[in-house]
């Protein structure tokens, strides 16, 4: 194989940047989109959930599709689908049309990061992986910083349609570059577990849709049935995986205690943490009357402090250990989420910024700590499947977290004690979500004091 082009990391970084920017630019624009589509801004969660859920369901297909069609063809197809979905999002005139367009967009976005990671692993020598990977993932750190700010400016000075239209030229440049620079790599992989994929994906979809549809009074019975169907499908997957030679996710993954606890703790604690990018822009714009631009700037410190604290994580883990760090940091996350209930429209700007910085710090510690611990004790044959399941778990947590927080927000806003004041509904939602996050610390308390020590030594 010819050596990869020196511009290949830039091309892969472009795709990752486009996906990460799109994932963060939308939240600031939700109130403006709701106004244009004549919907309540408190009823826009499906636009975000549809994308996250599609990522969760489609990501496991990336490896088998790359081996079947080759990395170049799949990456170009993913970019084309993502661009087409973005154009459809910009053209949407109804909420249902926008949700469907986000599903199409997510089908393309689900392939971009996994295929970029696969190309990196196959095209570069092991000695170059750290350097190339760091270059590619930098956009993943910049996207959350630029996304809310850019979204605010586009909404205030252009229109919400541009948060999707900006993906079109970026995607077309990516397609042009991929045709010229991307290596066409493929290899014979293990047989794909189609039955397991359908059972697991159907179960996850059923549970997520149950939380989404329970918001609508006329669909609550249906949501219960869908949720029960999701549970049955997941039980069916567990039975299938125990008897399959090459299951999508092997049951022995859950026999690894740190993986099992990391997965459960990650799902539970992320339910509250994943609600913040959805709730905070709504709070600032709907409840406090801030402009989209000001709201975007106030969210930027969350991402900035998240980046700044990452180099400190290895030192914190060596000092306190995974159990102590995750238990106490999860409690800090829960308390900080609850403290958001105290915010008012006239809260001093410096206090708002300080709170956002603290939230970014504890979120970063939580995400990095959970991710590294979850895969720390997996054997080499389990690493690929375990990493994939962890990624799916993260996307499911995002969709469930937003669905649950939207359910709470709408329920509290209709309660008699709220008196029609949406500020009280937001406050009650933050308290409820924070309490749940606080309680999830008990999952990490099941860790042993020395869990993760082998990983600390490698650091």
Are the CB atoms for 268 and 330 separated by under 8 Å? no
Q: Is the pTM above the cut of 0.85?
A: yes
Candidates 151, 169, 145, 157; CA nearest to 26 is 151
The full 3-state SS of 332-374, as one line of letters, equals HHHHHHHHHHHCCCCCCHHHHHHHHHHHHHHHHHHHHHHHHHH
In this structure, what token pair is assigned to residue 435? 């309490």
> How do the domains of the chain map onto residue ranges?
1-182, 194-247, 251-459
Q: What CATH superfamily classification does 1-182 receive?
A: MFS general substrate transporter like domains (1.20.1250.20)
Give CA angle at 255 (254, 258), nearest 5°: 75
In this structure, what token pair is assigned to residue 158? 């252009």
Structure confidence at residue 168 (pLDDT): 92
Fold entry, domain 251-459? Growth Hormone; Chain: A; (1.20.1250)
Q: What is the DSSP string of 407-418?
A: HHHHHHHTSGGG
Structure confidence at residue 258 (pLDDT): 87
pLDDT in tens, the chain (459 residues): 566 677 788 888 888 888 888 878 888 999 999 999 999 888 888 898 889 888 888 888 877 788 788 888 888 999 999 999 999 999 999 999 999 999 999 999 888 888 887 787 777 776 666 667 666 766 666 777 788 898 899 999 989 999 999 999 989 998 998 888 888 777 666 677 888 888 988 888 888 878 777 666 676 777 888 889 989 998 999 889 888 888 888 888 888 888 899 999 988 998 888 889 899 999 999 999 999 999 999 988 988 898 888 888 888 888 888 889 999 999 999 999 999 999 998 999 999 999 999 999 998 899 888 888 887 777 777 777 787 788 888 888 888 888 889 888 988 888 878 777 889 999 999 999 999 999 999 999 998 877 766 555 544
Domains 1-182 and 251-459 are alike in CATH topology: yes
Structure confidence at residue 217 (pLDDT): 66
Structure confidence at residue 14 (pLDDT): 83
How many angstroms separate the CA atoms of 254 and 329, rounded? 24
Structure confidence at residue 216 (pLDDT): 66
Structure confidence at residue 459 (pLDDT): 46
Are the CB atoms for 393 and 266 separated by under 8 Å? yes
Q: What is the DSSP string of 235-290?
A: HHHHHHHHH-SS-SS-GGGGGSHHHHHHHHHHHHHHHHHTTHHHHHHHIIIIIS--
Structure confidence at residue 126 (pLDDT): 62
How many angstroms separate the CA atoms of 219 and 336, rounded? 34
- The three-class DSSP label of residue 195 is helix
How many angstroms separate the CA atoms of 208 and 200, rounded? 12
How many angstroms separate the CA atoms of 290 and 453, rounded? 46
Residues listed for the chain: 459
């Amino acid at each position: 194989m010819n050596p990869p082009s020196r511009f290949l990391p830039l091309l892969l970084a472009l795709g990752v940047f486009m996906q990460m920017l799109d994932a963060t630019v939308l939240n600031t624009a939700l109130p403006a989109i709701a106004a244009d589509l004549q919907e309540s801004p408190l009823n826009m969660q499906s636009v975000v959930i549809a994308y996250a859920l599609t990522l969760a369901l489609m990501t496991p297909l990336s490896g088998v599709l790359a081996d079947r069609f080759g990395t170049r063809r799949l990456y170009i197809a993913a970019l084309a689908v993502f661009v087409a979905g973005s154009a459809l999002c910009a053209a949407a005139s109804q909420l249902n049309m926008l949700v469907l367009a986000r599903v199409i967009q997510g089908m393309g976005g689900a392939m971009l990061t996994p295929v970029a990671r696969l190309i990196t692993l196959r095209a570069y020598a092991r000695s170059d992986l750290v350097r190339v990977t760091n270059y590619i993932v930098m956009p993943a750190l910049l996207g959350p910083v630029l996304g809310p700010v850019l979204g605010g400016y586009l909404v205030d000075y252009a229109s919400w349609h541009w948060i999707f239209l900006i993906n079109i030229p970026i995607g077309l440049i990516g397609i042009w570059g991929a045709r010229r620079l991307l290596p066409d790599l493929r290899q014979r992989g293990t047989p794909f577990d189609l039955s397991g994929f359908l059972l697991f994906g159907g179960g996850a979809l059923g549970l997520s849709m149950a939380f989404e549809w329970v918001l609508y009074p006329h669909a609550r019975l249906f949501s219960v049935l869908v949720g029960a169907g999701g549970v049955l499908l997941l039980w069916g997957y567990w039975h299938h995986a125990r008897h399959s030679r090459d299951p999508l996710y092997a049951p022995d993954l859950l026999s690894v205690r740190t993986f099992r606890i990391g997965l459960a703790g990650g799902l539970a604690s992320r339910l509250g943490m994943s609600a913040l990018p959805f709730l905070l822009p709504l709070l600032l714009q709907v409840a406090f009357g801030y402009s989209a631009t000001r709201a975007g700037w106030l969210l930027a410190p969350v991402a900035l402090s998240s980046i700044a604290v990452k180099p400190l994580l290895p030192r914190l883990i060596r000092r306190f250990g995974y159990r102590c760090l995750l238990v106490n940091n999860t409690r800090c996350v829960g308390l900080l989420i609850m403290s958001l209930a105290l915010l008012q429209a006239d809260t001093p700007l410096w206090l708002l910024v300080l709170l956002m910085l603290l939230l970014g710090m504890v979120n970063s510690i939580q995400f990095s700590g959970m991710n590294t611990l979850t895969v720390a004790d997996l054997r080499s044959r389990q690493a690929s499947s375990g990493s994939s399941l962890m990624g799916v778990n993260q996307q499911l947590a995002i969709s469930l977290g937003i669905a649950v927080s939207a359910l709470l927000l709408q329920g509290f806003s209709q309660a008699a004690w709220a008196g029609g004041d949406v500020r009280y509904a937001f406050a009650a939602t933050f308290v409820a979500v924070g309490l749940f996050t606080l309680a999830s610390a008990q999952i990490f308390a099941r860790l042993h004091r020395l869990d993760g020590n082998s990983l600390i030594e490698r650091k």
